Structure 1
Amino acid sequence: MILYPAIDLKGGQCVRLKQGDMAQATVFADDPAAQATAFERQGFEALHVVDLDGAFAGRPVNAAAVEAILGAVRFPVQLGGGIRRMAQVEGWLARGVARVIIGTAALRDPDFVRAAARAFPGQIAVGIDARDGKVAVEGWAETSDLDAAELGRRFEDAGVAAIIYTNIARDGMLSGLDFAGTIALGHALTIPVIASGGLASMADVARLAAPDCAHLAGAITGRALYDGRLDAGEALAMLKGRRAA
């Protein structure tokens, strides 16, 4: 179980949204590279970065901020947001991104995901963001008729490294992770699942350490970490203890 701190980029700043609404963005840091360095010093093993502007634009927008992060830290960085062409995948991996997350294109162009996973084994993840169980795309601005599990099953034999599952209704709301939905998705797929959206407190971390979450590969934390509801050292020690057990 890896706990990923999140850096969401909007206008070159670290922000957190509520339910993916760009109009409800709270700025938590002006220097993404410094924030990434702080997370690394706190002992986190990897970093989750999303180019929010890129997710809406359909192309990378905050490239300078991402490159500054990559130049500042040594731990692995996974990146999503507006990555919809093979050249973009190749470019980010060449710059030092450890894992590329494909979201909208996973629904629109699943053959692209399969080709990328074949070309870069272990370095391609699929982001599945769901609203009322249905996959949302284009920066969560559009909701499809496809169930999250159904989309995940399309990539079972593709070599995808992970599924990052976000319940949009909980994202940024500090209402707790969608444990029922995430655990169910984890059981429905053989691809490792990472939980995202709503992690609110140490109680959520303790829940992640419970036996029925043992098959989950990780979780992403954002607002709770930024506003001090989550103690990084305590959370990491708790999950490390689970791994040791």
Structure 2
Amino acid sequence: MILYPAIDLKDGQAVRLVHGEMSSATVFNDDPAAQARAFQDAGCDWVHLVDLNGAFAGQPVNGAAVEAILGALTVPAQLGGGIRDMATIEGWLSKGLSRVILGTVAVETPDLVREAARTFPGQVAVGIDARKGMVATKGWAEETDVTATDLAKQFEDAGVAAIIYTDIDRDGAMGGPNVEATEALARAVSIPVIASGGVSSLEDLSRLKATRAIAGAISGRALYDGAIDLGAALELCRA
């Protein structure tokens, strides 16, 4: 299981939100590139990035911060938030991003996801953010009547590299991930599923890994707060 340390970007800074509320942002580092380097130096194999402003704006906003991070890293990075057309996808991949995460467009323009996955094999993931099992879009501001599992199944044959599943009610709340829902999704599709939202202890990582169905886990606040020791977490995930 791969551990993805998260850097959420708001106004050029590394922050964490609670339940996706922009007003709840806590700044953890005003130098996101330095934070990315620290994760890499600690032994992380990937870094997970989110352009929070971009998710609401529908286009990249924290581009300078992302480019600085990419310039600081030698390990791969994935990015979600405000990526909603082929030009933006192509632009990010050409700048050294290893994987784009498509969320809102997976609901609104699923054909774009399929086209992107065909054009850039292995470099396109789908972000499925759900509240009580129902998908939310546009920075979690709009709820849909689509279930997370139904949305995931739409891309079963599309060639997407991964699904990042976020339980919004758990995100940033340090209350543990929704292991049951994430495992159920992972078993419903053949696409690798990465858990996100609420991963706040080594025990959480152990529970996710014990399912033998979940391919990765994203953690942010717990790493910044010290609730998870990064070295121990990497050892657990790789064991």
Give the TM interval when normalised to the shorter protein. over 0.9
Aligned to 1:6: 6
Q: TM-score, normalised by structure 2?
A: 0.99
Aligned to 1:218: 216
User: 5+ unaligned residues in a row in structure 2: which ranges?
Assistant: none
Aligned counterparts of 1:89 and 1:206: Cα–Cα separation in 2: 34
- Deviation of 1:239 after TM superposition, in Å, equals 1.4
Aligned counterparts of 1:121 and 1:142: Cα–Cα separation in 2: 29
- Deviation of 1:72 after TM superposition, in Å, equals 0.5
- Deviation of 1:208 after TM superposition, in Å, equals 2.5
1:115-126 matches, within 5 Å, as 115-126=115-126
Aligned to 1:76: 76
Aligned to 1:141: 141
Q: TM-score, normalised by structure 1?
A: 0.97
Aligned counterparts of 1:146 and 1:205: Cα–Cα separation in 2: 28
- Deviation of 1:183 after TM superposition, in Å, equals 0.1
SS of the aligned residue for 1:28 comes to strand
- Deviation of 1:209 after TM superposition, in Å, equals 2.9
Aligned counterparts of 2:207 and 2:133: Cα–Cα separation in 1: 22
Identity across matched positions, percent:
63
Aligned counterparts of 1:27 and 1:143: Cα–Cα separation in 2: 27
Aligned counterparts of 2:110 and 2:205: Cα–Cα separation in 1: 33
Aligned to 2:57: 57
Aligned to 2:178: 178
User: 5+ unaligned residues in a row in structure 1: which ranges?
Assistant: none
Aligned to 1:157: 157
Aligned counterparts of 2:31 and 2:123: Cα–Cα separation in 1: 26
SS of the aligned residue for 2:45 comes to coil
Aligned to 1:67: 67
Q: Root-mean-square deviation (CA), in Å?
A: 0.6
Once the two structures are superposed, residues 21-78 of structure 1 have per-residue CA deviations (whole angstroms, 9 ceiling, x without a partner) of 0000000000000000000001110000000000000000000000000000100000
- Deviation of 1:200 after TM superposition, in Å, equals 1.1
Runs of 4+ residues deviating >3 angstroms? none
1:27-66 matches, within 5 Å, as 27-66=27-66
**Alignment length (residue pairs):** 239
